[in-house]
Structure 1
Amino acid sequence: MTTAPLTVLVVGATGSIGRLVAAEAVAQGHTTRALVRDTGTARRLLPAEVQLAVGDITQPDTLREAVADVDAIVLTHGSMSSPETVDYGGVRNVLAALDGQKPRIVLMTAIGVTARSSAYNHLLEWKRRSERLVRAGGLPYTIVRPGWFDMNDPDEQRPVFLQGDTRRSGGPADGAVSRRRIAQVLVAAVATPEAARRTFELVAEQGSAPSDMTQLFAALDEDAPGALDAVRDEDNMPPEREPQPVRDDLAALVTRAGS
């Protein structure tokens, strides 16, 4: 698949997935921008072609320059210790900073994000809430829920897209996939129309990767228009029982999307 080069912002660009996303976006010919807090660290980790925009996803006032005039935003950030502030708050702040712009949003969360009896419940709940923000925002989006990073066997390179989030062991038995393959899928979603309004789990199985993932995206069911959760997700986290600040954030996004 050949597409015109886009301007792509990578959030979480110095993380283990984000730096691969930035490199893949450059390799695909996109103008690539990275949101970073420390330019010195970023310059050591990222390709020279990547533009650096200084900002912090937990500080909304620092994000406007980073998001200006982008065609797509790939969000790979995360925090085990502060998921409310980083995983959720970061998405909320980036969406608010767009101020009327309508880029494609590609969000990485995690397989098992809809589980309600996991040892990682606190983290997963905030990741699921971040997904809901993206769906409520009215922008074209793709949400990718990868399996366990780099725990696949060497011959397991074929990406498999799943829906329904039914694998909930909380361990590698749910599925694994390489960081590099995750990055390739995230960047492919940016420029593939068939990826729009899709949410899926990503694992790898025995075989090689295709050169074009269009058919993999096209085979997925779209999320229902106006739905907060993904198609086939279990209805086990009622929005009306969510904390009031979360409900307020969703209401604000819905209002902006309709204006």
Structure 2
Amino acid sequence: MILVTGATGTVGKEVLRGLPAGSEVRIMVRNPAHDRGAFAMAETVTAETVTGDYADERSLRRVLRGVTKALLVTNDVGAGHDARFLRAARAAGVRHVVKLSAAAVADTGADDPITRWQRASERLLRASGLDWTLLRPRSFMSNTLSWAPSVRSEGVVRALYGTSANACVDPRDVAQVAVRALTEDGHAGAIHTLTGPEAISAVEQTQQLADLLGRRLRFEELTPEQARDGLRGRYPEHVVEGVLGSARRQLAGAKTGVEQTVLEVTGRPARSFREWARAHRAAFAAV
């Protein structure tokens, strides 16, 4: 039995779509009424949905009963979710946890609150006594969906440090590697750093979107102060500072390295931003 957490998220929903025929999967949700119908998977996959909450260790033990492998996705910085999940996993007899982390963990120059939390979470897993696999993706290409409203209505992309490059990755590729780790042998103790095929800047992404849409798009660079103000409307302060710190590291060239992990694990090259954008063209198209 495979447990998938974060099943309505960017990677989790793609993991469900990619599980091979014959898989037995349990999906952890906090609100079954809200999440019902949010999942898509092959008809040959046997799935059940179970209510669980990272803040409630008793519910986690119930969710994990009978599970052999689990995909662990957490995002609440400092909430202790990883620690509770791993205690429950040990008590339930889970053998292998595949954790979604981030490439910044390996960057010695990254010392923001989000990266420190991710490092601590990885240490908990590696010391848990369970088999583990770490997935460390670079930024998701899907982050550019935040541009969609201004692209549709104004033909404008607004972002910080527009010429700085990032070897961003298609979440579908991250999910495919996760599926391999959950369904194949040979991934215990592995750290999979996941990138796209090239480092690309926001200015270049804007041009590729313009080519795809067949319309002119304009790029407007935000100042750090403008970026901070916009982020404060959506995130708590520690997340805001983490995002801005990450952008500064990108400006310094810390995110340009390209890995071949997607090809090595799946046998298929990582998708380009152009391929990702083509699949999501409708999100950016003018109404």
Instruction: Name which of structure 1's ranges 70-79 and 181-190 shifts more when overlaid on structure 2.
Output: 70-79
* Cα 1:149/1:172, change in 2 over 3 Å: farther
* Cα 1:182/1:114, change in 2 over 3 Å: same
Aligned mates of 1:140, 1:113 — CA distance in 2: 20
> How many residues are matched?
185
Residue identity in the other structure for 2:31: D
8 Å contact 1:111–1:174 — kept in the other structure? no
Partner secondary structure for residue 54 of structure 2: coil
1:8-157 equivalences under 5 Å are 8-25=2-19, 27-47=20-40, 49-79=46-76, 83-85=77-79, 89-98=80-89, 99=91, 101-115=93-107, 117-118=109-110, 121-150=112-141
Corresponding position: 1:194 with 2:247: no
Aligned mates of 1:64, 1:143 — CA distance in 2: 22
> What RMSD over aligned residues (CA atoms) do the two structures have, in Å?
3.1
Q: Which residue of 1 aligns with 2:214?
A: none
Deviation at 1:146, TM superposition (A): 0.5
* Cα 1:151/1:205, change in 2 over 3 Å: farther
Deviation at 1:199, TM superposition (A): 1.3
Deviation at 1:91, TM superposition (A): 1.6
Partner secondary structure for residue 63 of structure 1: helix
Partner secondary structure for residue 78 of structure 1: coil
Query: Alpha-carbon deviations, 1:132-183, whole Å to 9, x = none?
Result: 111101111110100111269xxxxxxxxxxxxxxxx9x9734211111111
* Cα 1:53/1:137, change in 2 over 3 Å: same
Deviation at 1:76, TM superposition (A): 2.2
Deviation at 1:42, TM superposition (A): 2.0
Aligned mates of 2:60, 2:22 — CA distance in 1: 24
Larger radius of gyration: 2
Partner secondary structure for residue 22 of structure 2: coil
Aligned mates of 2:13, 2:191 — CA distance in 1: 23
Deviation at 1:64, TM superposition (A): 1.2
After TM superposition, the score normalised by the length of structure 1 is: 0.63
Which structure has the highest helix share of the two? 2
8 Å contact 1:53–1:66 — kept in the other structure? yes
| Identity value in percent | 27
Aligned mates of 1:39, 1:61 — CA distance in 2: 18
Q: Which residue of 2 aligns with 1:213?
A: 266
After TM superposition, the score normalised by the length of structure 2 is: 0.57
* Cα 1:45/1:148, change in 2 over 3 Å: same
Partner secondary structure for residue 200 of structure 1: strand
- Structure 1, unmatched stretches of 5+, are 1-6, 153-168, 217-259
* Cα 1:151/1:22, change in 2 over 3 Å: closer
Residue identity in the other structure for 1:19: K
Partner secondary structure for residue 183 of structure 1: helix
* Cα 1:172/1:127, change in 2 over 3 Å: farther
Deviation at 1:185, TM superposition (A): 0.5
Corresponding position: 1:179 with 2:232: no
Aligned mates of 2:131, 2:267 — CA distance in 1: 16
Q: Which residue of 1 aligns with 2:242?
A: none
8 Å contact 2:103–2:193 — kept in the other structure? yes
Aligned mates of 2:12, 2:178 — CA distance in 1: 10
